[in-house]
Amino acid sequence: MSRTVNSELLKIDRRIISRKLLAGELSEKDLTSLLKKLPDVSENVEEIKLPVIIHDRDAHEETLRMVKASGVRRGVFHCFSGDYIMARQCIDLGFYVSAPGVVTFDKSTVLHEVVRHVPLDSILLETDCPYLAPVPFRGRRNEPSFIVHTAKKVAALKGVDWEEVALTAARNTRKLFGIAESAAGHIRAL
């Protein structure tokens, strides 16, 4: 992809992000503009061999439609908030679904069902720092050391040891981002 196209995409992305996305005010016009640029973005992603990280909130159908149309088939639905049907579609498209600290909340029953039914080799764990701290730290600033609580909840929902969840999620993460096993270090029990 040419430098000019990259430069233009960055300008568009910065303008929209700085003015609209962070304020949660993405208009239909902005969405249409981004959709028109998505083929260029997907070409760039394929060229540099990086996964796509998608944060979809309350726009599940539209997001899936954009992903399907883009041709991108490697990435993660970060801070996953959809149902099992959406999770299955994401996985079928080559994406992981990521369980944030929200999975530890009692009222997150839809996410609990997703975690119960999605194969462990399709799940990542995340902190979404500084937000969405897991129980028992709910309401506090989130931090990476809290991820053990997310792993333990996912393990409880799946009926496996939390260490298995942690190791599998770490392997999934290395696979997604192309990190060699030897470069990843070891997970220590917290």
pLDDT tens digits, residue range 100-157?
Answer: 999 999 999 999 999 999 999 999 999 888 889 999 999 999 999 999 999 999 999 9
CATH number of 51-184: 3.20.20.140
Asked if pLDDT for residue 1 goes beyond 50, the answer is no
Select from 87, 123, 131 the least CA-distant residue to 105. 131
Q: What is the pLDDT of residue 102?
A: 96
Q: Is the sign of the CA dihedral 97, 98, 99, 100 positive or negative? A: negative
Residue range(s) occupied by CATH 3.20.20.140 in the chain: 51-184
Query: What's the CA angle centered on 180, arms 116 and 170, to 5 degrees?
Result: 20
pLDDT per position as a tens digit, 68-111? 887 888 999 999 999 999 999 999 999 999 999 999 999 999 99
Supply the pTM of this predicted model: 0.75
Q: How confident is the model at residue 32 (pLDDT cuts 50, 70, 90)?
A: low
Asked whether the predicted pLDDT for residue 165 surpasses 90, the reply is yes
Return the pLDDT at 46: 57
What's the whole-number average pLDDT of the chain? 79
